[in-house]
Amino acid sequence: MLNNRYIILFFSICALCINAQTTIIKGIVKDVETNLPIQNSVIKCLNLPNITQTNLKGEFTLTLLRKQNYKLSITHVSYQAIIKEMKALKSDTVFIFIVLKQKTNILDSISIYAINKPETLVGKANYSIYDFDFYEDKLLLLTAEKNLNHAKIQLADYSGKIYSSFELPKEAGEATHFFHDYQGYTDVICKDSVFRIDVMNNELLIIPVLKNDFNKYLIPIIDTANGNYYVNDKWDKYPLFNYYYLNKNDTIHHFLQTITNQDLMKLYNLEYYYLPSHAQLEARRIADYYKTDKKIIAALMSGFTHSMYYEPLYAPLFILNDTICIFNHYTNFLYHYTKKNKLIDSVSINYHHPKNWRDWKKQVFVDEIENKVYAFFSKDQHHYIKQINYQTGKEILTYKLKHHSAQKIKIKDGYIYYVYRPFESTQEKFLYREKIE
């Protein structure tokens, strides 16, 4: 075992030898034009692993082994790099001065826009767009020059190019809106008629549909999945309805869930007792004739369903990734069902109870491509959508639309589409979209 004194002496001699073979380079890096120090310049010896960086004053220190020559690389993100060659050093310390020239960057020409500027898809000076829908990679438009008594259906692409047009017959009555049915077709609803829209080789095909059949067999069907139809018996004049499902191979309706507004139902039923005696008698007579509830007849007779106290129920059903979701805004729960229609769970929701209850516009949108859910709000003349996690019922993000009076809102593939005309403008109604961020 070596004595400790010899060990200390051995390392001391090594240190002296090492010091005798190294040189300390001290320097400063400045701007060639302004003579100001350059911070964060990188100084590296190309034939050795040594590297350092300048401080706030542009100063640096680098320790190198003594050799015949050195190549120092001096680089900075905003300056032109240089290589400084140094011959064999004899001194223990060397001072150097380095100047760098700023880079001259030539950039490609780019367009600068406001953040997430709304994109105009279709806008014509001679007619307005009143409604729209999606057809594969095209757009279906409901347009009119003056009013919807003389409406047209048009097929366009996302650049505004029109491929085909069809003028609705006058006997169809005033056109009102598009309806996207469970089969994936777009139907145009008119006062006296219904037409199904199809496309072949970029040409519109307009097929008449019996309105009674449409109201009876198409409107009640919400969606279809896993061999089942999902339907409801909703009537806007009554504050209760049910969701059912039926298999495609039978006609038996299987109960899924009841939707009702209990507080509204109490007011609804009280209308019968507010009627005078002769009106109550008439309500009972009509109810017997139609085999219905006298309280329903009374609420219709009194005009309650058209008053400020009454509003139709809104509790939509959506199918998201094979999960049946019912957004029951009256129990404050989001219900999840399996593809076999068995209840999985229920999670609480409260997005529809903002501080100002009028902000909530009783609309929920689904982006079918991204499987995302959005609720619609309006406050201080501005529109907002809030993304709702359909698994937890929680709010994820809020997005404010750039145009505050947007209409006919639809969401697809991460974009929000809408019809808009600036307030007090002579512009016709154009179709816009914005990226949801």
Q: Which token pair is 60?
A: 């640096």
116-165 pLDDT, tens digit per residue, is: 689 999 999 999 999 999 999 999 999 999 889 999 999 999 999 999 99
Q: How far apart are CA 385 and CA 378, in angstroms?
A: 9
pLDDT band per the 50, 70, 90 thresholds, residue 68: low
State the pLDDT at residue 115: 55
Q: How much is the CA Rg of the chain, to the nearest whole Å?
A: 37
State the pLDDT at residue 10: 38
Which residues is 221 bridged to in the sheet? 231
The overall average pLDDT reported for the chain is 88
Distances (CA, A) of 301 to 91, 134, 236, 276, 406: 109, 41, 15, 12, 36
Q: How far apart are CA 315 and CA 312, in angstroms?
A: 10
Q: How far apart are CA 430 and CA 121, in angstroms?
A: 8
- Residue 303, SS3 per DSSP: coil
Q: How far apart are CA 195 and CA 172, in angstroms?
A: 9
- Residue 212, SS3 per DSSP: helix
Q: What is the pTM of this model?
A: 0.71
Taking the mean position of all CA atoms in its chain, how far away is CA 26? 57
369-416 pLDDT, tens digit per residue, is: 999 999 999 988 889 999 999 999 999 999 999 988 899 999 999 999
Other Cβ atoms closer than 10 A to 113: 8
By the 10 Å C-beta count (0-12 exposed, 13-18 middle, 19+ buried), 391 is classed as middle
- Identify the residue with better confidence: 44 or 351: 351
- Identify the residue with better confidence: 296 or 63: 296
Reported for 189-194, long-range contacts at CB under 8 A and 24+ positions apart, including other chains, are 193/169
Q: How far apart are CA 230 and CA 339, in angstroms?
A: 11
Whether 6 has a pLDDT exceeding 80, the answer reads: no
